[in-house]
Amino acid sequence: MHKSTRRDGSSMVGLMLRIGAAALCCWILAAPASRAQNSGGLPGFLQNLFGLSPKPQAAAPSNAPLRIRAHKPQPHKKEQDFVSTTATRAPGSPGGAPVTANFFVSVLGDTLGILAAQGLVDAFADKPEISIGTQARDLSGLVRDDYYDWPKAARDMITAKTRIDTVVIMIGINDFQPLKDGGETLDVLSDKWRANYGQRVENLVSPFRDAHIPVLWVGLPSMNDDRFNTQVIALNAIDREHAEKAGAKYIDIWDAFADQNGQYAAFGPDVDGQNSKLRSGPNGIYLTKAGSRKLAHFLEADIRRDFDRTKPQTDIASLPPDIEQQADDINAQIRREMGAEKSQAPGPAATPKPSAGPILSLTAPPISAHGALVEALGASTDAPAGERIRALRIGEAPEPQAGRADDFTWTRAQ
């Protein structure tokens, strides 16, 4: 009796401990996160339960900066082609080697010469092989050689052996002033002035001619001022005569910058055919960008032709002797397989044809093969021949013959 009571009591105690442990777990799980954080969570509860005091922890100041781990940037890998770009791209193309200029154009003159050089740079932007250089000087001319001596500058360029393939000259808008010849002063466009100025034109061209360098002399365009325009016309005539005499080619641009009456026009068609402003400056002396490009259009053909002449002419290379012999053997084999050699079997030699036949008179009467005169057409006894004569002379239709195209007889089928 006592043993059973003791067992029942121990069973009851174990049951109570299990129920208390389950309740404790439910209380811990149901506690809010803020309470767990303030009390230290499960470790804090156990410390309070068993009388253990937690170690004090230093609280981080509220204004302490956040520590962020810096990420080390990864090096960028440069993408490369499978092979070197210089080996796969043509010179001058994107990624290829730069094109080296091998044709040099030198522009001489005054302000209009400078504008002409700018137009040529735009015109040959697609041709890096052609280099446009300018030695033009503003306010210069052929009259004031004390300011700048152009003939001497031309001689110096040749002496310096500078690479020049073509020369463009455009000069003259500053030359309408008295010219000093020794101790004499020559009036503008007087006879002596014209002769002296023409000689200076030849002196400018001749050094390049002697060096076998082609020269393109560009005439002046029309001007807005009537008096100035008359002087320009006279100067262009002098330039054309003496420049061509010295061996230069004269380029006339007057009509390109004038209206339909040959007078000054500030606007006109550009190189694309669009109406654009071509002239600028006081009295319309100078050229706009569109005008400079239009001016260069009249020089492009000559410069490109000179450039093409400098290119090496590629000849057809002959085959090496061994390859040529192999080609002959192959051709001979093909002829044998096609039976060409059988048709060329040796036989009696053909009579060579004379280079010219017998001389025949166009007015001599016709003769037969044996030398007898041909009978008159009317004396022929051949019936078909008589029918032809009647058909041609009289217009009488010949009798139809069976099966001929003029046989229209129709036989009823049986």
Question: What is the average pLDDT score of the chain?
Answer: 78
Confidence bin at 77 (pLDDT 50/70/90): low
Tokens of 387: 């029918």
- Looking at residue 393, its pLDDT comes to 67
CA gap 48, 44 in Å, rounded: 6
- Which amino acid, residue 2? H
Confidence bin at 406 (pLDDT 50/70/90): confident
CA gap 372, 367 in Å, rounded: 6
Residue 231 lies in a domain: yes
- Looking at residue 183, its pLDDT comes to 87
Residue 116 lies in a domain: yes
Cβ-proximal residues to 138 (8 Å cutoff; 6+ apart), any chain: 110, 111, 114
Reply yes or no on whether the pLDDT at 340 is more than 60: no
Nearest to 284 by CA among 108, 141, 123, 112: 112
Reply yes or no on whether the pLDDT at 136 is more than 70: yes
Reply yes or no on whether the pLDDT at 268 is more than 50: yes
Reply yes or no on whether the pLDDT at 211 is more than 90: yes
Nearest to 104 by CA among 170, 169, 168: 168
- Looking at residue 325, its pLDDT comes to 74
Residue 259 lies in a domain: yes
3-state helix, strand and coil shares in percent for the chain, rounded to the nearest 5: 45, 10, 45
Which is higher by pLDDT, 334 or 258?
Answer: 258
> Is-contact 155 196, C-beta < 8 A?
no
Which is higher by pLDDT, 336 or 386?
Answer: 336
Residue 110 lies in a domain: yes
Q: Which of 82-91, 257-266, 396-405 comes out lowest in average pLDDT?
A: 82-91
- Looking at residue 401, its pLDDT comes to 76
Cβ-proximal residues to 229 (8 Å cutoff; 6+ apart), any chain: 222, 223, 264
- Which amino acid, residue 214? P
What are phi and psi for residue 179, nearest 5 degrees? -115, 130
* Mean of pLDDT values over 267-272: 95
> Is-contact 287 222, C-beta < 8 A?
no
Reply yes or no on whether the pLDDT at 36 is more than 50: no
* Mean of pLDDT values over 53-78: 52
Nearest to 157 by CA among 111, 112, 210: 210
* Mean of pLDDT values over 186-202: 97
Confidence bin at 78 (pLDDT 50/70/90): low
- Looking at residue 311, its pLDDT comes to 78
Query: 118 is in which domain, residue-wise?
Result: 103-309
- Looking at residue 151, its pLDDT comes to 97
- Which amino acid, residue 337? E
Reply yes or no on whether the pLDDT at 371 is more than 70: no
Most confident of 70-74, 84-88, 334-338: 334-338
- Which amino acid, residue 168? V
- Radius of gyration over every alpha carbon of the chain, rounded to an integer in angstroms: 54
- Looking at residue 378, its pLDDT comes to 46
> Is-contact 299 218, C-beta < 8 A?
yes
CA gap 255, 234 in Å, rounded: 16
CA gap 175, 183 in Å, rounded: 19
CA gap 40, 326 in Å, rounded: 101
What are phi and psi for residue 49, nearest 5 degrees? -65, -40
* H-only helix segments in 211-282: 226-245
Q: Which of 185-194, 281-290, 343-352 comes out lowest in average pLDDT?
A: 343-352
Residue 38 lies in a domain: no
Residue 160 lies in a domain: yes
Confidence bin at 85 (pLDDT 50/70/90): very low
Residue 161 lies in a domain: yes
DSSP state of 81: -
Confidence bin at 8 (pLDDT 50/70/90): low
CATH number of the domain enclosing 136: 3.40.50.1110
Q: Which of 234-243, 270-279, 343-352, 389-398 comes out lowest in average pLDDT?
A: 343-352
Reply yes or no on whether the pLDDT at 185 is more than 90: yes
pLDDT above 70: percentage of residues in the chain:
61
Residue 77 lies in a domain: no
Domains of the chain: total: 1
> Is-contact 279 287, C-beta < 8 A?
yes
